[in-house]
Structure 1
């Protein structure tokens, strides 16, 4: 229902403003259902990692003494979750959108490969961001505040609600330079063939490297000093 409602809103907008942001009506409908398919795999509404609860329970102490990297272990678990949710909660909404409205489909193998690569990097960016939020519980104790802040930022700056391309000039440029665009807007543009492939993938990869690097530093920091609820 959420995807259908968003589709009708975007149809009305593009009928009033044909060609807005370089999209036609079919592109706008496709945007609605592609981004709907990203909600589960990218965990756009937050969560997906069990680290905050393990910090509150004290089980994080066991995780930190294991020979496996906490970050890589969490990443492997998250990638498996994302792949599963893409199949069971991502593909069906896209098929529904295709059946109800008709959507744009990539025209060649190169465009499919670009989209799938961009989607995979987007999952890494999403994990990197959520992992940093999860680690913050070691110092903040309660993650509800940062979770709400993350929800607002991710919802409005990723392209989840409307395409970033229709934002006012300065806000559009800012949003496109931030990591949230790498989660939704850029993979969607690759699917639609609206973005330069190499530049887009490099931009996504840079944000993935930055966030994963910060996560590695954060993991190292919590090994030295951890505050756990309950003692």
Structure 2
């Protein structure tokens, strides 16, 4: 119940920033149009590039905009606050709470992600469907699988960002590393181009990396590119990376918090 309350509180907290949410919806929608028209020009020259036809490619583009804020691909999301608390020493207060540090921040990030998925996810995708021919599924099961995949994408993203945040125990300022990992996420998630478009060796390798779980897998589930056993393998890939990253984060957290020095004390 504690972590459910944390998630609910985080949802309400981000819901209060209505102007910021509206601005984010506008930004995601504008970038959705830019990417969609870029994809249209590219696919006009190379039909079925990467195994996608144009409606599938456009759906991929708008799905990326729908998941961008929820997964915080290019930013720390709520975890950026954890980095600041480590830098300022306020983390000492968090460590004295009768709650697990990792689960606390995971719950808070899930609350944030749900708000972003509803606010900055559904609206841009709906706008894209109004102006472009998208390959959206009709089967409710496909949408349920996509929702499950999107939730796993958020957990994988949290695992990556949490590890980056913990490096602030040693680096003091993890802004540089956050920027590097954000660029990696943008490239290897499929945000720039779907991973199957890459050269074969790079495409196969990239689809095994954790960043592929942020966009490539959920988008393929929504498009029907992964069905049946393929969809199950995609969800298992996401779940495997989620478990591995959370376990690694717990190990690093244990090592980092053995001795915390605040203001020299």
Report TM bin, short chain: over 0.9
* 1:199 maps to 2:233: yes
Q: Which runs of 4+ in 1 moved over 4 A?
A: none
Partner of 1:208: 242
The one of 167, 180, 195 aligned to 1:149: 180
SS at match of 2:63: helix
TM-score by length of structure 2 reads: 0.84
* SS at structure 1 position matched to 2:207: helix
| Count of equivalent residues | 230
> 1:200 offset after TM fit, Å?
0.6
Please state if 1:116 is matched with 2:147: yes
Contact 1:139/1:227 (<8 A) preserved: no
Structure 1 residues 23-78: Cα deviation after superposition (integer angstroms, max 9, x where no partner): 11101111111101111100011211111110111110111121100100000000
Corresponding residue SS for 1:41: helix
Per the alignment, do residues 219 and 25 of structure 1 end up closer, same or farther by CA in structure 2, a change over 3 Å counting?
Answer: same
Q: Helix, strand or coil: the match of 2:160? A: helix
For 1:221, the equivalent position in structure 2 comes to 255
Matched, 1:97 2:128: yes
Distance in structure 2 (CA, Å) of the matches to 1:18 and 1:56: 50
Alignment of 1:129-140 (within 5 A): 129-140=160-171
Task: Indicate the residue corresponding to 2:66 in structure 1.
Answer: 37
Give CA deviations for 1:199-221 in whole Å, capped at 9, x if unaligned. 11111100000000011112211
Report if the CA contact (8 A) 1:154-1:180 is conserved: yes
- The within-5 A match list for 1:73-88 is 73-88=104-119
Provide Cα deviations, 1:65-113, integer angstroms capped at 9, x if missing partner. 2110010000000000000011111111101101111312212122112
Is the 1:3–1:93 Cα contact (8 Å) retained in structure 2? Answer: yes
Shift of 1:227: 5.3
Q: Secondary structure at the match of 1:119?
A: helix
In structure 1, distance between residues paired with 2:151 and 2:219: 12
The alpha-carbon distance between structure 1 residues 221 and 105, as it changes in their structure 2 partners (threshold 3 A), is: same
2:84 equivalent to 1:53 = yes
Distance in 1, matches of 2:140 and 2:100, equals 36
What is the aligned-residue RMSD (CA, Å)? 1.1
Q: Distance in 2 between matches of 1:226 and 1:211?
A: 23
TM-score, L = length of structure 1? 0.96
Partner of 2:214: 183
Q: Is the 8 A contact 1:38 1:184 kept in 2?
A: yes
Runs of at least 5 residues in structure 2 that lack an aligned partner in the other structure? 1-29
Contact kept, 8 Å, 1:141 with 1:227, in 2: the verdict is no
